[in-house]
Amino acid sequence: MLTRLATLTAVAAAATLPAFAQAAPSAAGPSIMSQVLLFLPLILIFYFLLIRPQQQRAKKHKALIEGIKKGDTIVTSGGLVGKVTKPGDDEITVELADGVRVQIIKQMVIDVRGKNQPVAAND
């Protein structure tokens, strides 16, 4: 990933060198094309290091939430661990302890464990 990014940056830098090596600069300043070629590597870096990973994380979280079913053990963003008793469209009912059931908004779920996966012990 980093080698691909370094290659893209080197290619973009090499493309801008001829623009800077031109004869006398005009009074109006550098051309628009040379400015675009100067900022293109920065835009690519932001895309590959910030925007694309965030989109992938959002896609995984959406798939995780859509896959919640009855009997799954979930972990919420508040740190609650419980078993899903009634899944719904926007909310789910979770049993935290015997006889203790709460409704949670699906978007607050950060982890889904299967029916047979044990809950990690707090040490």
Structure tokens at 105: 């908004």
Confidence of residue 4 (pLDDT cuts 50, 70, 90): confident
What does pLDDT average to over the chain?
Answer: 82
What pLDDT shows up at residue 65? 93
81 strand-pairing partners = 75
3-class DSSP assignment, residue 14: helix
111 strand-pairing partners = 75
- Beta strands at 81-87 and 91-97: parallel, antiparallel or unpaired: antiparallel
Contacts by residues 73-78 (CB-CB < 8 Å, ≥ 24 positions apart): 73/112, 73/113, 73/114, 73/115, 73/117, 73/119, 74/104, 74/109, 74/111, 74/112, 74/113, 75/109, 75/110, 75/111, 75/112, 75/113, 76/104, 76/108, 76/109, 76/110, 77/108, 77/109, 77/110, 78/108
Q: What is the pTM of this model?
A: 0.61
pLDDT in tens, 33-67: 888 888 999 999 999 999 999 999 999 999 999 99
